[in-house]
Amino acid sequence: MTPSVTVSRRGAERLKSGHPWIFRSDVVAAEAEPGDIVRVASERGKTLGWAYWSSASQIALRMLEGPGAPMPGDRELIAARIRAAAAYRDSLGIIGGAWRLVHGEADGLPATVVDRYGNGEGAWFVVQTLAQGSDRRLPLLVDALVEQFGPTGIIARNDPRVRTLEGLEPRVDVVYGEVPDRIVVEENGIRFGVDLRHGQKTGLFLDQRDNHAAAARYAQGQALDAFTYNGGFALNMARHASSVLALDISASAVEATAANAALNGLTNVEVREANVFDELRELESSGRRFDTITLDPPAFARNRASVERAVGGYKEINLRAIRLLRPGGHLITCSCSYNVSDTLFLEVVRSAAADARAAMWLVERRGQAADHPILLNAPETSYLKCLVLRRVG
């Protein structure tokens, strides 16, 4: 018997709008095991498509195919969608050793992330299977990657907390070949040491690659990089600025940034372990001023309930940064909080500029790198905001 799930009229309308998720509140009946590919049907029995089923998450269904498609075969579907994802990334002409190969729903493989890291010594994939359906098919995903690319090693970084919402155990496993403790890859001509087992996300913030390059184009004079992590913004700016001060509260981040600066022979980067909020106030009080400033904080709003508090945090750091910015200087400010919309983030920065009594140009509105495509009818896939501003008075 084919596993099936019946959804409400509201759920059917959601699918008709193009959104790939159905929430548990719109499930009328289910005859399926955790992680099954199920036939999704309306209350009248009409087939609406095929989806991964989760018995635990509030996201009960993640769509794979629409109406009219036959039930997808696991192995064939995964292999075909990886081929399509790879063809798109090839068309981007990405220069460097690290990029995203599979970006979940946008690439037709729900709750699946595949990042590729490579250098002259080998190529490694870091995968994440974040829902019951994708996790059950991890072996098929590994088989497809091995068959199509022949990598040196594959590691499953299945340690994000979101897996607990699916009833899945957080874990990290080498699932193919060999994966060293540390590799070195290149981004925009800068070399970075990467810890594929323990680094943030899958090792690097690959979604910021193009914004790092943009910051380098605007960098001049004395630069400040707040929330540096491993120096993504700082090191890209250091080739054009006279000096860069990089700040982070994490001792391991400070160590990583200093090591990456040394790896590239950059002697104009000072790395300081500090609470960024406190340090921005201290820098302002001491009279320090900068010609280029980047702000790339962690997600302040991880859910809707935390938006108000997050807005206060974004307002504080942008106000301090604008006050520290010399006329003619540029501020590159980011938010990776999906729950803080583009419009709200721009309003927060506008309010900060008003409080700082600074005239600012909005030079660019940017987002995530092109290898992290946005599914138009799924706003959740659009999360990264990046504004480039110039102080003119």
Catalytic residues: 336
For 222, list phi and psi in degrees, rounded to 5. Answer: -90, 125
Q: Are 344 and 312 in contact (CB under 8 A)?
A: no
**Per-residue DSSP letters for 123-191?**
EEEEEEE-SHHHHHTHHHHHHHHHHHH--SEEEEEE--GGGGGGT---EEEEEEE---S-EEEEETTEE
3-state SS assignment for residue 236: helix
Q: Which residues contact 164 (CB under 8 A, 6 or more apart)?
A: 170
Q: Are 261 and 190 in contact (CB under 8 A)?
A: no
User: How far is residue 356 CA from its own chain's centroid?
Assistant: 31
Q: Are 96 and 369 in contact (CB under 8 A)?
A: no
Greatest Cα-to-Cα distance within the chain, rounded to the nearest angstrom: 73
Contacts 24+ apart (CB under 8 A), 236-241: 236/188, 236/190, 236/212, 237/292, 237/294, 238/264, 238/266, 238/268, 238/269, 239/190, 239/266, 240/216, 241/268, 241/291, 241/292
Q: Are 151 and 144 in contact (CB under 8 A)?
A: no
Report the alpha-carbon distance of residue 29 to residue 152 in Å, rounded. 44
For 240, list phi and psi in degrees, rounded to 5. Answer: -125, -20
- The DSSP symbol for 81 reads H
Q: HSE of 159 in the Cβ direction (CA atoms, 13 Å)?
A: 15
Of 320, 330, 299, 296, nearest to 226 by C-alpha is 296
Bridge pairing between strands 360-366 and 290-295: unpaired
